[in-house]
Structures are given as structure tokens and as C-alpha cells.
């Protein structure tokens, strides 16, 4: 299983505009995850947000769905700069 972490900045004055778009994105991508996706903000910088998607079986399908949903929901237009997607997985067992 893979896990995706997306981080980006927002304009804090636009939180009421951005939050519903990101929450809709989380809802749209939940079917690709074994755990409900969630949205966090950085403790020392409320303009930095992170989305966490865990337990992704088909990362290619997830990534394609994310690209479509980000466009459809205009999530990129609600952020300052680019969204950064990172993929992580558990380490291979020791031999």
C-alpha cells in the first residue's frame, strides 16, 4: 500500500473559499484509500496545508483521479504556488 501527502500554501484570508474545495477533493478521492483522507495545517504556519491519503492500492489510478478532481474543483486556483504530491510506502522487510 502507498500513502500520498500533498502540501501547499494558501492565502489565510481565503480559508472559507479554499476549505470547501479541498474537502470536496478529499471526498472525491476517498474511494482510493483504505482510511478517510484528511486535511491538516501546519502548527506554526496556518498558510501551509497538507492532505493525507493512506492505503492506496492503485497509485496510478489515484494520481489520475487527483489530477482530474483538482482541475474540476479548481483546487490549484485556490492555492498560492504549486501543490506538491509525495508518495511513500512502508520499507521492504529486512532479509
pLDDT of residue 76: 84
Q: What is the mean pLDDT of the chain?
A: 95
Q: Which residues of 47-85 are buried (b: 16+ CB within 10 A; e: fewer)?
A: bebebbbbebeebeebeebbeebbeebebeebbeeebeb
Lowest-pLDDT range of 35-39, 50-54, 68-72, 91-95: 91-95
53-65 pLDDT, tens per residue?
999 999 999 999 9
Domains of the chain: 2-89 (3.30.70.100)
pTM (predicted TM-score): 0.92
55-93 pLDDT, tens per residue?
999 999 999 999 999 999 999 888 999 999 999 998 887
Amino acid at each position: 500500500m502507498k500513502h500520498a501527502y500533498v502540501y501547499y500554501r494558501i492565502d489565510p484570508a481565503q480559508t472559507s473559499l479554499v476549505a470547501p474545495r479541498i474537502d470536496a477533493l478529499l471526498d472525491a478521492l476517498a474511494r482510493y484509500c483504505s482510511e478517510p483522507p484528511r486535511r491538516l495545517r501546519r502548527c506554526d504556519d496556518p498558510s501551509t496545508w497538507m492532505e493525507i491519503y493512506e492505503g492506496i492500492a492503485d497509485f496510478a489510478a489515484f494520481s489520475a483521479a487527483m489530477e482530474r478532481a483538482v482541475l474540476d474543483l479548481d483546487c490549484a486556483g485556490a492555492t498560492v504556488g504549486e501543490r506538491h504530491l509525495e508518495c511513500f510506502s512502508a520499507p521492504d522487510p529486512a532479509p
